[in-house]
């Protein structure tokens, strides 16, 4: 039942925020903050009380499970389950959700209640994505979080020029994700009907469909349907068109959610659904996926170097980092997959930090254009120091969580795909370049405009400090995180070795 509440709490909180607007602007903010902290506390309590590092044996994969029939006509259930990976990501959602509320405390001044309704609906949808095990339910949450995100960008976004661009960015975001999502729905339905014709059982359950024997001609297409949906959201390079615009136009809270959590739903989807449902096809597809990841690493980094808009720059670095995650997920090595999970968490923290910083800069100097910054080091206290720290995290400096993640990814992938690792390492060099460019243009150089600016208040200081501490803690002592997710990474890499064995044996027989 606790799983149901994890999903329901943000939705109920959102409705409450909407109605609370009549008691003043502060009420929705406090309610939203309380709601997200509640989600965070619940997941931390679950983490502390349940033993997550239990070995996977038979049906004991899930720490918590809840199911109830929903649409029996198609064998659709409300089936929620939690393992270490979902737990980490739900906790992350709660944490970043609270940060998103905090960082828009002063930024959002009008229609506060409706804003928080949308914000909390996004977070509720994301929690649903991380917990849903029924494929229909998963798709439902996957699509559902788009609508509030659309409103968030379209209504509270920064109107770049002429006021039309944020709606354009929001529309593009929506169409990209929704259309690719429909492809996934087609794949899901096709998978279900293949299973129906094999066994006569109509079911959308993850456990039931996992062993489906799909005809060889159909299987790669179904796998692609899933992959494209996740690739758009991750984003993988040919499908990344929506991301920079969406980030650039979104309010700070939207950017934090997008980079911190929404992109992670895609990686989660690959890990939870695309790989286990189609192990052999994924194995065959791995070289392509890794190449795409590689392209993403380099392309994102190179384009980040050339950006003038600080939020676009951070958006392109996200593409680069998610390229690493993609490489790791398809490498099939347990170490690399664990590295990918660490990098997901690390990237959520560091990119949230950078977006919050750029939001705070915007509140002070009312621009995101780096040509109109410069020399801020002497003008603002404290913030430049934080920027250095998060930039260092973003470029993968040792002692930060990002370093652990990237190191594990490269180390784990090397035995299987040395060439990929060698080229991807070049991405690290580029990461250093764009990070230093960011520092140089914003905080050093000649002052664009003289005069001191206000330093961070307690709220801003606190948000950044907590993010920084978490980055360092995960960077210095990642073991608890690795223990929690070990039970998830092992079976996925097992899938790869199994199907490799199968393929080898088939080769011998032939």
- Of 193, 270, 180, nearest to 225 by C-alpha is 180
C-alpha distances out from residue 280 to 74, 89, 123, 175, 306, Å: 27, 27, 33, 31, 39
Question: What secondary structure letter does DSSP report for 445?
Answer: S
Task: Please choose, from the candidates 121, 92, 98, the residue with its C-alpha nearest in 3D space to the C-alpha of residue 29.
Answer: 98
Structural tokens at position 53: 């590092």
Q: Which of 25, 37, 61, 171 binds other proteins (CB under 8 A)?
A: 171
- Which listed residue (15, 37, 189, 466) binds other proteins by CB under 8 A? 189
Q: Give the nearer residue to other proteins in terms of CB position, either 95 or 174.
A: 174
- Taking the alpha carbons at both ends of the chain, their separation in whole angstroms is 51
Asked if 167 is part of the footprint of other proteins (rule: CB under 8 A), the reply reads yes
Minimum gap (Å) between residue 144 Cβ and other proteins? 5
Pairing of strands 64-71, 76-82: antiparallel
Q: Is the peptide bond before 235 cis (omega within 30 degrees of 0)?
A: yes
Q: Is the Cβ of residue 223 or residue 342 nearer to other proteins in the bound state?
A: 223
| 175 contacts other proteins (rule: CB under 8 A) | yes
By the rule CB under 8 A, 190 interacts with other proteins = yes
Among 15, 37, 56, 144, which residue interacts with other proteins (rule: CB under 8 A)?
Answer: 144
Site for other proteins contains 11 (CB under 8 A): no
Near other proteins by CB under 8 A, which window of 36-44, 169-177, 268-276, 433-441?
169-177
Q: Which stretch binds other proteins (CB under 8 A): 178-186, 354-362, 391-399, 467-475?
A: 178-186
CB of 146 to other proteins, least distance (A): 8
Q: Is 466 in the site for other proteins (CB under 8 A)?
A: no
Q: Which helix (H) or strand (E) holds 65?
A: strand 64-71
Residues 97, 39: Cα–Cα separation, whole Å: 9
Angle between helices 479-509 and 334-365 in degrees, nearest 10: 130
Residue 72 in the binding site for other proteins (CB under 8 A): yes
179 touches other proteins (CB under 8 A): yes
- Mark residues 193-222: x for contact with other proteins by CB under 8 A, - for none: x-----------------------------
| 8 contacts other proteins (rule: CB under 8 A) | no
Exposure string of 94-111, with b = 16+ CB inside 10 Å and e = fewer, is bbbbbbbbbbbbebbeeb
Least Å distance, CB 182 to other proteins, is 5
Distance CA 41, CA 35 (A): 10
Q: Is 262 in the site for other proteins (CB under 8 A)?
A: no
Exactly one of 44, 147, 284, 437 binds other proteins (CB under 8 A); that residue is 147
By CB under 8 A, tell whether 139 contacts other proteins.
Answer: yes
Residues 6+ apart with CB under 8 A from 213: 198
Task: Please tell me whether residue 109 binds other proteins under the rule CB under 8 A.
Answer: no
Q: Is 4 in the site for other proteins (CB under 8 A)?
A: no
Q: Which of 2, 8, 41, 71 binds other proteins (CB under 8 A)?
A: 71
Helix 112-131 and helix 84-103, axial crossing angle in degrees, nearest 10? 170
| Residue 44 CA from chain centroid, whole number | 19
How many chain residues are in contact with other proteins, going by CB under 8 A?
A: 30
Question: How far, in Å, CA of 373 to CA of 300, rounded?
Answer: 23
Q: Does position 12 bind other proteins by CB under 8 A? A: no
Place of tokens 């609370």: 20
Asked whether position 7 contacts other proteins by CB under 8 A, the answer is no
DSSP 77: E
Looking up tokens 């392509």 gives: 288
List the one residue from 12, 56, 185, 490 that touches other proteins (CB under 8 A). Answer: 185
Number of neighbours of residue 462 by Cβ within 10 angstroms: 13
| Of 180-188, 370-378, 381-389, 435-443: span binding other proteins (CB under 8 A) | 180-188
**Residue 132 binds to other proteins (criterion: CB under 8 A):** no
Q: What is Dmax (Cα atoms) for the chain?
A: 77
Partners of 309 in beta bridges: 369
Stretch of 35-43, 181-189, 311-319, 348-356 lying at the interface with other proteins (CB under 8 A): 181-189
To other proteins, the closest distance from the beta carbon of 269 in angstroms equals: 16
Residue among 15, 56, 64, 182 that touches other proteins (CB under 8 A) = 182
How far from 20 is each of 24, 111, 113, CA to CA, in Å? 7, 11, 7
Distance of closest approach, residue 431 Cβ to other proteins, in angstroms? 34
User: Applying CB under 8 A, which part among 67-75, 338-346, 353-361, 408-416 lies near other proteins?
Assistant: 67-75
Binding of other proteins at residue 232 (CB under 8 A)? Answer: no
Smallest CA-to-CA distance from 196 within 71, 74, 68, 281 is with: 74
Binding site for other proteins (CB under 8 A): 70-74, 139-141, 143-144, 146-147, 150-151, 154-155, 167, 170-171, 174-175, 178-179, 182-183, 185-186, 189-190, 193
């Amino acid at each position: 039942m606790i799983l149901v509440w994890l999903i329901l709490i943000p939705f109920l909180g959102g409705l409450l925020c909407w109605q609370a607007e009549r008691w003043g602007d502060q009420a929705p903010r406090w309610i939203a903050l309380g709601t997200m902290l509640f989600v965070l506390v619940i997941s931390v309590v679950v983490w502390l009380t349940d033993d997550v590092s239990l070995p996977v044996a038979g049906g004991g994969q899930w720490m918590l499970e809840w199911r109830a029939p929903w649409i029996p006509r198609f064998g659709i259930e409300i089936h929620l389950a939690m393992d270490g990976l979902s737990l980490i990501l739900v906790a992350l959602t709660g944490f970043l959700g609270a940060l998103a509320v905090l960082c828009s405390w002063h930024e959002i001044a009008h229609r506060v209640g409706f804003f928080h309704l949308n914000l909390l609906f996004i977070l509720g949808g994301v929690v649903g994505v991380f917990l849903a095990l029924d494929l229909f339910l998963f798709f439902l949450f996957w699509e559902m979080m788009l609508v509030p995100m659309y409103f968030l960008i379209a209504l509270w976004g920064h109107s770049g020029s002429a006021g039309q661009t944020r709606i354009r960015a929001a529309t593009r975001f929506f169409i990209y994700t929704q259309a690719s999502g429909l492809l996934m729905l087609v794949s899901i339905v096709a998978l279900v009907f293949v299973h129906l014709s094999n066994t006569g059982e109509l079911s959308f359950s993850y456990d039931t469909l996992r062993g489906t024997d799909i005809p060889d001609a159909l299987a790669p297409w179904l796998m692609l349907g899933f992959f494209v949906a996740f690739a758009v959201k991750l984003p993988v390079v040919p499908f990344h068109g929506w991301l920079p615009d969406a980030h650039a136009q979104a309010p700070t809270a939207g950017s934090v959610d997008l980079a911190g959590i929404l992109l992670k739903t895609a990686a989660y989807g690959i890990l939870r659904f695309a790989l286990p449902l189609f192990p052999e096809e994924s194995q065959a597809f791995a070289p392509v996926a890794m190449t795409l990841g590689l392209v993403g690493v380099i392309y994102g980094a190179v384009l980040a170097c050339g950006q003038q808009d600080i939020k676009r720059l951070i958006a392109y670095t996200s593409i680069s980092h998610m390229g690493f995650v993609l490489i790791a997920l398809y490498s099939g090595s347990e170490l690399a997959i664990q590295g990918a999970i660490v990098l997901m968490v690390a990237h959520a923290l560091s990119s949230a930090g950078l977006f919050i910083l750029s939001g705070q800069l915007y509140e002070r100097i009312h621009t995101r254009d780096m040509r109109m910054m410069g020399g801020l080091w002497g003008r603002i206290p404290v913030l430049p120091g934080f920027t250095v720290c998060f930039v260092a995290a973003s470029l993968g400096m040792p002692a930060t969580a990002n370093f652990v993640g990237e190191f594990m990814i490269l180390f784990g992938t090397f035995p299987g795909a040395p060439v990929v690792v060698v080229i991807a390492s070049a991405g690290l060099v580029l990461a250093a370049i764009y990070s230093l460019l960011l520092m140089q243009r914003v905080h050093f150089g000649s002052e664009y405009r003289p005069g001191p600016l206000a330093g961070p208040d307690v709220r801003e200081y606190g948000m950044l400090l907590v993010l920084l501490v978490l980055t360092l803690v995960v960077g210095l002592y990642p073991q608890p995180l690795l223990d929690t997710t070990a039970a998830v990474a092992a079976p996925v890499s097992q899938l790869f070795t199994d199907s490799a064995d199968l393929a080898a044996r088939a080769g011998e027989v032939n």
